[in-house]
Homo-oligomer: A and B are copies of this chain.
Amino acid sequence: MARRKSLPIKKRRELPAFDRAEFERRAERARALMVRERLDALLVSSEANLEYLSGFTTQFAWNTPTRPWYFLLPREGEPVGIIPEMGVTNWRATSWVSEILSWPSPRPANEGLDLLKRAVLGLKRQFSRVGVELGPESRIGMPVADLTRLRDMIRPFDVVDGMHALRELRLVKSPAEIERIRRMCQIAGDSFDNMGALIEPGDTERDLVRKFQADMLLRGADKTPYVAIGSGQGGYDSIIQGPLGRKLKRGDIFLIDTGARYGSYFCDFDRNYALGKPPSDEARRIHDLLYKSTAAGIKAARVGHTAADVFAAQAKVLEDAGLVLGNVGRFGHGLGRVMTESPSNMPGDDTPLVPGMVLTIEPSAMYGEGKILVHEENLVITEDRAELLTRRAPREMPVLEF
């Protein structure tokens, strides 16, 4: 029998659910984009796009691939959820959309396809095109074989890529969305500040990551899907791996990077720590340059610039100092319902920055023998400047007692 044990939880007022007006604005914007993209409807099945448009909130649908879940938003006419029967109660408790078509699932021979066909063929047909999640950075929430069958079932409608519209739709966040990201950044920031109390001699990377996740949950996070850790004597060699079984040691530098969720929205930032003794002069130098690179990125993140400009500003600081840029391929990205969204802060991404876009600023540099160091902050673009959503990392790498 387990020892009975209470856990301390920090309670503060939850942010309110999105109101109906928020969803109506999303639908209105989506419909304007459908006209531009010549679509008669958007048919979505992935967590981010389905929940964004329908308001339906579920863990279940995204943890089991047995049953697909669909939302159809027509350019004209009523939106409809096309979902397994067992989800109707959950849908009604969370979605703004009352129209539902449901079927008794599992039914492997036909998982909702007949209902999809009926809904699509009932669309007002102008462009004969239905936008589906096909293009860059999409992950469709249905078996590809079912999509192939559906294509044939809904003629004369064509299945075309809806990601242009969906990408643009989600690029600019509403104030209510930004508040969720800000809340999550605060919670993770508090847990990062608590690192010295969490880590104990004998901890492995796995132990520390478990405690760090628990700490975020007890401070009000809802989910902790991404908590990576890199550790090693004097520095680490990957910013996206772990936790492994490695025991943390005095003299280590370690990083924790976290994409955790509040109200379905992500933070995505990291913090670096030295264990038991100050970092080497080299590590301090790199850390300081990354701090300055981050500052340059924050400054460059403003209306009139592009995502590529934000990269260039960060890269210049590091390259001027003769550093080799990190092997991540970009220096930050969009952030929202998914841990990484458009745009990419990298050469060639000419997405103009506009108010309401939420970005990570994430410069990294190589040093020593295959080591890498990274900084990361989250911000929102406003009319005249970037507003930080994270509390800025300390200028000097914290040295934890150990």
Q: Could you list which residues of chain A lie within 8 angstroms of chain B, going by C-beta atoms?
A: 1-9, 11, 14, 17, 58-60, 63-67, 84-87, 89-90, 93-94, 104-108, 111, 132-145, 147-148, 161, 163, 189-191, 193-194, 196-198, 200, 202, 204, 206-207, 209-211, 213-215, 217-228, 237-241, 243-245, 259, 327-330, 333, 338-340, 344, 346, 370
Contact = CB atoms under 8 A, between A and B. Distances in A.
A14 B206 contact: yes
B63 A9 contact: no
Contact of A198 (B7, B94, B143, B148): B7
Contact of A9 (B104, B210, B222): B210
Given A58-B241, A89-B238, 18 more contacts: A4-B197, A7-B214, A7-B218, A9-B207, A17-B245, A60-B241, A64-B340, A66-B344, A86-B240, A106-B330, A106-B346, A134-B143, A139-B143, A143-B163, A210-B217, A210-B221, A213-B217, A213-B224
B140 A225 contact: no
B11 A207 contact: yes
19 contacts: A7-B215, A9-B207, A14-B204, A59-B226, A59-B228, A85-B327, A86-B327, A89-B370, A106-B329, A107-B329, A108-B136, A136-B143, A140-B140, A206-B222, A210-B220, A210-B222, A211-B217, A214-B214, A222-B243
Nearest to A257: B60
A245 B87 contact: no
Given A106-B329, A108-B136, A237-B89, A2 B143 contact: no
B139 A141 contact: yes
A5 B193 CA distance: 10
B85 A329 contact: yes
B134 A145 contact: yes
A221 to B, nearest CB: 7
A14 B340 CA distance: 31
A184 to B, nearest CB: 13
B217 A63 contact: no
B143 A225 contact: no
A8 B203 CA distance: 12
A210 to B, nearest CB: 5
A134 B144 contact: yes
A216 B288 CA distance: 38
Contacts of A86: 238-240, 327-329
Contacts of A135: 143, 145
A145 to B, nearest CB: 4
Given A65-B137, A344-B106, A58 B240 contact: yes
Contact of A137 (B89, B143, B220): B143
B329 A104 contact: yes
A142 to B, nearest CB: 8
